Amino acid sequence: MAASVDVLAIGAHPDDVELGCGATLAKLAAAGRRVGILHLTRGEAGTRGTPEERRREAERAAEILGAVELSILDCGDGALRTGPAEEDALIAEIRRLRPELVFAPTPADRHPD
């Protein structure tokens, strides 16, 4: 996949980005911007489907939205950890992708992740 992106959207779980700003990402991709999606967890605590199904769905959603990059970290779903290892993984992805614009969840989001 891509070595760098213009726009990076970060979400806790597979589907957060797609539901939160998918239309915006599709519009940016259609305008020629290189879009990346980064999920912090595999969604393993979800009640429907398996992490493997979520990955396949995330891959298909990224394709539909026109994303050139999809990364899924393993930061632990349900009680998203924020220790040094998780921070280092996130920082490494941001440095690798070098986005100009980042979409991220609001701290006001009521979900625990």
CATH of the domain at 82: 3.40.50.10320
Per-residue model confidence (pLDDT) at position 64? 98
* Residue span of the structural domain in which 59 resides: 7-46+54-103
Closest CA to 35 of 72, 63, 12, 73: 63
pLDDT of residue 35: 99
2 within some domain: no
In total, how many domains does the chain have?
1
Q: How many CA atoms, within 13 angstroms, populate the side-chain half-sphere of residue 41?
A: 19
What phi and psi, each to the nearest 5 degrees, are found at residue 39? -100, 135
pLDDT at 113 over 60: no
Using one digit for the tens of pLDDT, what is the confidence trace for 31-88? 999 999 999 887 765 667 787 888 899 999 999 999 999 999 987 766 666 778 888 9
- At residue 29 the predicted structure's pLDDT band, cuts being 50, 70 and 90, is very high
